[in-house]
Structure 1
Amino acid sequence: MENQLPPGQFETENWPILHQGDVYEFNEDTWRFRLFGNVDKEAVLTYADMLNLPTTISAIDMHCVTTWSKFGTVFEGIAMRELLNLVDIKDGVTHIKVYGYYNGDPFGYSANLPIEPLMGDDALFIYRWKDEKHDWQDITPKHGYPLRFIPPASFYLWKGTKWATGLRFMKQDEAGFWEELGYSMTANPFKEERYR
């Protein structure tokens, strides 16, 4: 699927900035990442805890529902599977919600995703990136610093939660922020699943 342009998309070399609400101002003293929901015991991580987890470097294509696609961006971050290793997930869990800051609420934004497609190197909570025009650099606050989820290329980028704060494990699918406003639950760009 690498460098494959979905229908209705155009390629850009830039990484456009689009977001809803205020830009989160990172405070390491108060920042926490929570793993909760259908788990035996929830876990809470500090930013230092997150940075001590094994890291992954991977190129992930991005496809935004606003019709731009960007190829060849390399990200460094924590793979989703590393976070799943920190909790005992109950039987029957099929989906997650990735939460993020929205206008001061640590859990004000969310995006729903099935767990199964997120076990590879292309589902990352990122903090650094590079491409052909840029050397390694931290993601900016407007791109989701200190931690942003980047989903596999099989999902539109609104599933890529900025200012990520947690994961909730669910036994059934449940609409997130944009899904409640009429966007697709499944969000496959190659099937043009933009809206319900």
Structure 2
Amino acid sequence: MANQLPPGQFETEKWPILHKGDVYSFNKDNWHFKLFGEVEKELSLTYDEVMRLPKTISSIDMHCVTTWSKFGNTFEGIAFREFLNLVTLREGVTHVKIFGYYNGDRFGYSANLPLDNLLGDDSLFVYRWKDHNQDWETLSAKHGFPLRFIPPSSFYLWKGTKWVSGIKFMTEDEEGFWEELGYSMTANPFKEERYK
């Protein structure tokens, strides 16, 4: 599926900046990452604890619902599975919500995703990136610093939460921010699953 342009998309060399609400201003002293929901024990991690987790480098194509696609992106970050390894799930967990800051609310933004799709190297909480036009660069605040979730290329990019703050583990699917506003629950760009 790498470098495959989904229907209705055009290729761009740039990484457009799109978001709703204010740009989050990172403060290491009060930033925490919460793992909660259908887990045996909730966990809250500091920024330093998160950054001590094992790192992964992976190339992931990005497809935005606004019709642009960007190939040749290489990201460094923490694989979703590293967070999964820190908790014991209760029986029947099938989906997650990945939360992020929105207008000062730590859990104001969220995106729902099926758990099974998030276990590979292409499911990353990233903090730096590069492409064939530039060497490694720290993620900018507008792109989601200090940590942004980049989903596998089988999802539109609104599933890629900026300014992440936690993961909620769920036994059934649940609408996130854009899904509540009429966007697709599944968001497969190759099937043009843009809206409900």
TM-score clears 0.5: yes
String of CA shifts for 1:152-190, please: whole Å, max 9, x gaps.
000000000000000000000000000000000000000
Residue aligning to 1:84: 84
The aligned counterpart of 1:99 is 99
Q: Summarize deviations over 1:54-74 as a string: whole Å, max 9, x none.
A: 000000000000000000100
The equivalent of 1:47 in structure 2 is 47
Q: Can you list the C-alpha shifts for 1:26-60, whole angstroms capped at 9, x where unaligned?
A: 00000000000000001110110011000000000
Q: Structure 1: which 4+ aligned runs deviate by more than 3 Å?
A: none
- Is 1:122 matched up with 2:122? yes
- Distance in 2 (CA, whole Å) between partners of 1:101 and 1:180 is 17
Residue 13 of structure 1: aligned partner: 13
1: CA distance between counterparts of 2:120 and 2:111?
Answer: 19
Q: Which residue of 1 aligns with 2:74?
A: 74
**1:191 and 2:191 are equivalent in the alignment:** yes
Q: State the AA in 2 paired with 1:190.
A: F
Give, in whole Å, the separation in 1 of the partners of 2:172 and 2:183. 18
1:113 aligned partner: 113
Q: Supply the AA of the counterpart residue of 2:16.
A: P
**Structure 2: unaligned runs, 5 residues or longer:** none
> Equivalent residue of 1:18, what SS?
coil
| CA apart distance, 1:134 | 1.1
| Aligned partner letter, 1:153 | S
1:149 to partner: Cα distance: 0.1
Partner of 1:175 in structure 2?
Answer: 175
Identity of aligned residues (%): 72
Corresponding position of 2:147: 147
Name the SS for the 2:135 alignment partner.
coil
CA distance in 2: counterparts of 1:83 and 1:26, whole angstroms: 21
Look up the match of 1:34.
34
Distance 1:37 1:194 in 2: 27
TM-score of the two chains, using structure 2 as the length reference: 1.00
Amino acid at match of 2:35: L
2: CA distance between counterparts of 1:130 and 1:72?
Answer: 8
Secondary structure of the residue aligned to 1:23 is: coil
CA distance in 2, matches of 1:140, 1:28: 15
**Counterpart-to-counterpart distance in 2, 1:114 and 1:98:** 11
